[in-house]
Amino acid sequence: MSADAEFSLVVTLADAAQGRDIAIEADADARARIAKRLGLAALDRFTVTAEIRTVAGGIAAKGAVHADLVQHCAATDLPVPATLTESFDLRFLRDVDAPASEEDEIEIGSDDLDLLPLEGDRIDLGEAAVQTLSLGLDPFPRHPDADRILAEKGVLSEEAAGPFAALAKLRGKPGA
């Protein structure tokens, strides 16, 4: 667990043993740091709700992240507001090993997707929530006026620039 985490929420095995419901909202400073990390124009709301409990070998966390955010349009850089709710069902276990290096290629099944290593006797649910948010973001957000703006600047659409566009032009010419 990093001391410079944008939104740290440490939960221990002792906390989880009793079962615990969590509902927390990130403050403005944490939201600004998360927005910077994820390349967002703004993060106006970021909340986490979760049920925490112990499971054999670790901690289970089931809940959701809720966010009001603004991304940059992939084509025009205009603001694209969005509201996001992403559910999670995570298991932090002692016997889950991280790959030796980032270059190692590993294969995981769908049952392994939500398994994370338990760090000693604690987890950072805040970091897991930020990662859940990042996975839920639109990878190519598009402003509703993007096509019009690009056309005004002379950028051809995929249909106008694609391989069949030339054939369509030939179809309209005499002798073709």
What CA–CA distance (Å, rounded) separates 100 from 120? 18
- Asked if residue 128 belongs to a domain, the reply is yes
Indicate whether 75 and 124 sit together in one domain: yes
Residue 70 burial (CB count, 10 A): 16
Indicate whether 44 and 127 sit together in one domain: yes
Consecutive H or E run containing 67: strand 58-72
Closest CA to 33 of 49, 19, 46, 23: 46
168: containing domain: 145-176
Indicate whether 114 and 156 sit together in one domain: no
Q: What is the mean pLDDT of residues 6-29?
A: 94
Indicate whether 29 and 57 sit together in one domain: yes
Indicate whether 166 and 125 sit together in one domain: no
User: pLDDT value at position 108?
Assistant: 43
- Asked if residue 5 belongs to a domain, the reply is no
User: pLDDT value at position 101?
Assistant: 52
pLDDT band at 103 (very low <50, low <70, confident <90, very high): low
User: pLDDT value at position 27?
Assistant: 97
Count the helix, strand and coil residues of the chain and give each as a percent rounded to the nearest 5: 30, 35, 35
Indicate whether 74 and 138 sit together in one domain: yes
Indicate whether 47 and 129 sit together in one domain: yes
Q: Which residue has the higher pLDDT, 23 or 153?
A: 23
- Asked if residue 15 belongs to a domain, the reply is yes
Residues of the chain above pLDDT 90, percent: 57
User: pLDDT value at position 95?
Assistant: 78
Indicate whether 94 and 162 sit together in one domain: no
The pTM of the full predicted model, rounded to 2 decimals, is 0.77
Indicate whether 87 and 74 sit together in one domain: yes
pLDDT tens figures, 35-94: 999 999 999 999 999 999 999 889 999 999 999 999 999 888 899 999 999 999 999 998
Indicate whether 64 and 78 sit together in one domain: yes
- What total number of domains does the chain contain? 2
Indicate whether 75 and 100 sit together in one domain: yes
Evaluate if residue 17 carries a pLDDT over 50: yes
User: pLDDT value at position 110?
Assistant: 44
- Asked if residue 2 belongs to a domain, the reply is no
- Asked if residue 149 belongs to a domain, the reply is yes
Q: What is the mean pLDDT of residues 153-173?
A: 63
Which own/partner pairs from 22-26 qualify as long-range (CB within 8 Å, at least 24 positions apart)?
22/48, 22/49, 22/50, 22/51, 22/52, 22/63, 22/125, 23/47, 23/48, 23/49, 24/48
Indicate whether 138 and 149 sit together in one domain: no
SS3 14: helix
Q: What is the mean pLDDT of residues 130-153?
A: 88
- Asked if residue 166 belongs to a domain, the reply is yes
- Asked if residue 156 belongs to a domain, the reply is yes
